[in-house]
């Protein structure tokens, strides 16, 4: 017997702030029950209750650090044991702008663990649950940086390039199943004052690429429901990023980021 739609849940990682928070709000507006996943001590319980009350949907939450493999397995075991999942949004991600020779091993490891491993393992462990549904959706959040190697970010664009490739490959693999896979490549967003300040510090280029997370979330969910594999929220920047050869765009982006770290 099929699970009633009102008993299925959408899972959103990185749900406590920024784009993840807006994904939750947009899904709740569409009457999706939600499971919010984020780091501890991010007021996740309060946000979960707020969404439930405001939009009259069922919510639950799970606080954990996705940089730990054991936590990923604990989370997915809990989800599979208790919920029917029909939407998975792998939004959690970390980055940073630093001199590569000055970072420590944990900085590198955390980016790879959260951006690459968490997305891969969560998708793998929840896929049987998703495939039980008549229609299910996976949305992975990549970045415009996936198409441009950038000095002073180095590991982050490489990790987002993985997400882009992983998503399109999996979408092709699952094309004859009930699960559709989409990937969105937003640019910088006004997720908090610090991010906005650092992006605007990049100059004119940074200012014109800043996006509103509410608009990105709404547009992404619309396209996700239409089963579009590649979701482009800033067509002009995407086109420039794709068309410009690396010998031109990599030095340009590196110079812009150099100002952000204060080396200019």
Active site residues: 156, 160
Q: Are 152 and 258 in contact (CB under 8 A)?
A: yes
Q: Given the structure tokens 């299910």, which residue do they identify?
A: 136
Helices vs strands, H then E, count in the chain: 11, 7
Residue 197 DSSP SS3: helix
DSSP letter string over 160-217? HHHHHHHHHHHHHHTTTSSEEEEEE----B-SSHHHHHHHHTT-HHHHHH-B-HHHHH
Angle in degrees, 0-180, between the axes of helices 18-29 and 44-55, rounded to the nearest 10: 20
CA distance 51 to 60: 10
Tokens of 46: 């309060």
């Amino acid at each position: 017997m099929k699970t009633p739609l009102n008993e299925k849940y959408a899972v959103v990682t990185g749900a406590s702030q920024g784009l993840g928070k807006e994904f939750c709000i947009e899904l709740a507006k569409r009457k999706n029950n939600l499971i919010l996943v984020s780091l501890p001590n991010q007021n996740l319980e309060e946000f979960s209750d707020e969404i439930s009350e405001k939009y009259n949907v069922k919510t639950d939450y799970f606080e954990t650090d996705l940089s730990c493999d054991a936590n990923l397995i604990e989370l997915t075991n809990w989800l599979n044991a208790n919920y029917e999942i029909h939407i998975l949004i792998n939004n959690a991600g970390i980055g940073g702008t630093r001199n590569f020779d000055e970072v420590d091993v944990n900085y590198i490891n955390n980016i790879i663990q959260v951006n690459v491993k968490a997305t891969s393992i969560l998708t793998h462990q929840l896929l049987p649950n998703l495939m039980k549904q008549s229609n299910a959706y996976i949305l992975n959040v990549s970045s415009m940086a996936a198409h441009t190697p950038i000095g002073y970010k180095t590991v982050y664009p490489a990790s987002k390039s993985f997400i882009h490739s992983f998503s399109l490959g999996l979408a092709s693999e699952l094309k004859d199943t009930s699960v559709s896979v989409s990937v969105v490549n937003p640019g910088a967003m006004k997720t908090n004052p610090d991010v906005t300040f650092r992006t605007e510090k990049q100059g004119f280029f940074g200012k014109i690429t800043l996006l509103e997370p509410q608009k990105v979330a709404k547009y992404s969910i619309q396209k996700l429901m239409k089963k579009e594999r590649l979701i482009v929220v800033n067509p002009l920047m995407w086109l420039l990023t794709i068309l410009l050869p690396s010998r031109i765009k990599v030095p340009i982006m590196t110079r812009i980021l150099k100002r952000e770290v204060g080396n200019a």
